Structure 1
Amino acid sequence: MEQAEIIALIQQELPRLVAQDPSLRDFVLRTVSELYLPRREADIKFDRILEELRRDREEQSRRWEQQERKWEEQVHRWHEQDRKWEEQVHRWHEQDRRWEEQARRWEQQERKWEEQVRRWEQQERKWEEQVRRWHEQDRRWEEQDRRWHEQLAEIRRLDKRFESTIGALSARWGIASETSFRNALAGILTESFGVEVLNLTLYDHEGEVLGRPDQVELDLIIKNGLTIACEIKSSIDKAGMYIFDRKVTFYARHHQRQIDRKIVISPMVDPRARPVAEALGIEIYSYADAVEGL
């Protein structure tokens, strides 16, 4: 034991021992009086020592009380910490339970996902098979479409040939019909009514009628000084009306002869040509019976 510890122990225990043991008190007094001071002074000194010891003891008691309060506060903090720790452990347990529940849900979800992926894979295989069938069908359709196009091209080729043939036949029929009707009309009018019928072929050097130099045909009916220009066509449209009017104008100017009437005889007259004929002063007859008024 160190000297300082011995002194502190004496200071702590000596007052209690002196109070309990008179012999010790006398011993202390004798020792003090013999070594240091007279009794009076020793008493004063001793009282001072006792007072210091008392103060030291009070200070020590105060320190012990402070230390005890600190200890109690520390114990309280430990209890509070234990409570918090228990709450934290409880939260951890609760969190562990939640994690276990969540893990269970994840496992269920994973099983469902695997099942869904399996279904998707099955569906994908079905789609691949369907796409393969579609591709096969597309190839068949392409082949069928190619055949259709070939057949359509053949039909169009035949149609063009038929149209050309029919057009040629129509043209021949129209020309033959016009010529036959012109000859018949000329014969009837000449022999039965004493009318002069002329079929003129003129050459337009300046291209006044057709826009370029070409031959121009014109039928004239003459009776008692009356001159009638006649156009006999299997069919006629707006352009035909304008051309007929230009032929009449061309003949009248170059031959210095007045045309009294302009007549178009045709079984097929385009409805759009009728207003043109009316504006140009052209009479239209759709049937041969209509010329009886001549």
Structure 2
Amino acid sequence: MEQAEIIALIQRELPRLIAQDPSLRDFVLRTVSELYVPRREADIKFDRILDELRRDREEQARRWEEQARRWQEQDRKWEEQARRWEEQDRRWQEQARRWEQQDQRWQEQARRWEEQDRRWQEQARRWEEQARRWEQQDQRWEEQARRWEEQDRRWHEQLAEIRRLDKRFESTIGALGARWGIASETSFRNALVGILTESFGVEVLNLTLYDQEGEVFGRPDQVELDLIIKNGLTIACEIKSSIDKAGMYIFDRKVNFYARHHQRQIDRKIVISPMVDPRARPVAEALGIEIYSYADAVEGL
């Protein structure tokens, strides 16, 4: 018989024979046991495989969920980054626009600087020209200063000569003035004595006293005083070519010195002078001194 026929015969008869003869079943089981795993062991292996597959599936699901979470987080980061990139791109565009405007300004400023530099160069040229002119002018001024210095030296020499002559003239004029003042005072006093004594019967006295204590001048000295006496009325008179504030105080002290030491009342105090210092008039008014100057007249004698 052919192998195919034998196989067909076994497939047809084997189930019936196994059912009729248990020993045959055992033989078949022993024969195929080496090729197939027992059912329980197969179930255990199958369950273990299923568990491993389940665990693998769960682990894979967990990994997929973790990966999905990471992908979501990454998507969020990408969206955030995209938003940042978009914002940055907007800023870059704005900055680029500003840079463009700034570049235009710089170009305009560079043009202005270039124009200003041209002007400065032109101004520098003018300054150099002006400096050259100033240098020439300075040389002229130095020459002029040298001339002025020489002229100033001559003027100082002439001024010194003028001052020397002026001192001589001043000394001469002063001496003449002093002599003229003394002569005028003496002449006026003599005339006053002659007129009042001879024509009006008035007694005129020129007294020379000695101030031992220095009450009048602050040190011992002679004191001269003119007195006019009529019918018991005593008038102290000071005749001066010129008088100032100090002269008024001295005249008042001379009068007080005479009245105190001679126990005599002075009814009037009169100053006769053609030149009275304006500052002496308030002093005379405060001291009760009458002033007669220029065309003033002495009345009531």
TM range (shorter): 0.5 to 0.7
**Using the alignment, how far apart are the partners of 1:281 and 1:260 within structure 2?**
10
What 5-or-longer segments of structure 2 have no aligned partner? 1-116
Structure 1 residues 184 and 288, CA gap change in structure 2 (3 angstroms): farther
The corresponding residue for 1:280 is 287
The corresponding residue for 2:177 is 170
Alignment of 1:60-209 (within 5 A): 128-209=135-216
8 Å CA contact 1:220–1:227 kept in 2: the answer is yes
The corresponding residue for 2:238 is 231
**Using the alignment, how far apart are the partners of 2:157 and 2:145 within structure 1?**
18
The question of 1:259 aligning with 2:255 is answered: no
Q: Shift in Å at residue 129 of structure 1?
A: 4.2
Counting matched residue pairs gives 185
Letter of the structure 1 residue corresponding to residue 300 of structure 2: G
Task: Kindly provide the CA deviation profile for residues 46-84 of structure 1, in whole angstroms up to 9, marking residues without a partner as x.
Answer: xxxxxxxxxxxxxxxxxxxxxxxxxxxxxxxxxxxxxxx
The corresponding residue for 1:70 is none
What secondary structure is seen at the aligned counterpart in 2 of 1:191?
helix
Q: TM-score, normalised by structure 2?
A: 0.55
**Using the alignment, how far apart are the partners of 2:271 and 2:199 within structure 1?**
21
Alignment of 1:216-227 (within 5 A): 216-227=223-234
Letter of the structure 2 residue corresponding to residue 183 of structure 1: N
Tell me how large the CA RMSD over aligned residues is: 2.9
**Using the alignment, how far apart are the partners of 1:262 and 1:117 within structure 2?**
83
**Using the alignment, how far apart are the partners of 1:121 and 1:227 within structure 2?**
90
Structure 1 residues 224 and 249, CA gap change in structure 2 (3 angstroms): same
What secondary structure is seen at the aligned counterpart in 2 of 1:293?
coil
Task: Kindly provide the CA deviation profile for residues 258-278 of structure 1, in whole angstroms up to 9, marking residues without a partner as x.
Answer: 111111111222222122111
**Using the alignment, how far apart are the partners of 1:179 and 1:164 within structure 2?**
22
Letter of the structure 2 residue corresponding to residue 293 of structure 1: G
What secondary structure is seen at the aligned counterpart in 2 of 1:291?
coil
Identity of aligned residues (%): 91
Task: Kindly provide the CA deviation profile for residues 162-194 of structure 1, in whole angstroms up to 9, marking residues without a partner as x.
Answer: 222212111111111000000000000000111
Structure 1 residues 119 and 259, CA gap change in structure 2 (3 angstroms): closer
**Using the alignment, how far apart are the partners of 2:281 and 2:127 within structure 1?**
74
What secondary structure is seen at the aligned counterpart in 1 of 2:298?
helix
The corresponding residue for 1:271 is 278
What secondary structure is seen at the aligned counterpart in 1 of 2:205?
strand
Letter of the structure 1 residue corresponding to residue 202 of structure 2: V
**Using the alignment, how far apart are the partners of 2:290 and 2:127 within structure 1?**
83
Q: Shift in Å at residue 212 of structure 1?
A: 1.4
8 Å CA contact 1:265–1:287 kept in 2: the answer is no
Q: Shift in Å at residue 131 of structure 1?
A: 3.3
Structure 1 residues 277 and 117, CA gap change in structure 2 (3 angstroms): closer
8 Å CA contact 1:265–1:288 kept in 2: the answer is no
What 5-or-longer segments of structure 1 have no aligned partner? 1-108
**Using the alignment, how far apart are the partners of 2:129 and 2:282 within structure 1?**
75
The corresponding residue for 1:37 is none
Q: TM-score, normalised by structure 1?
A: 0.56
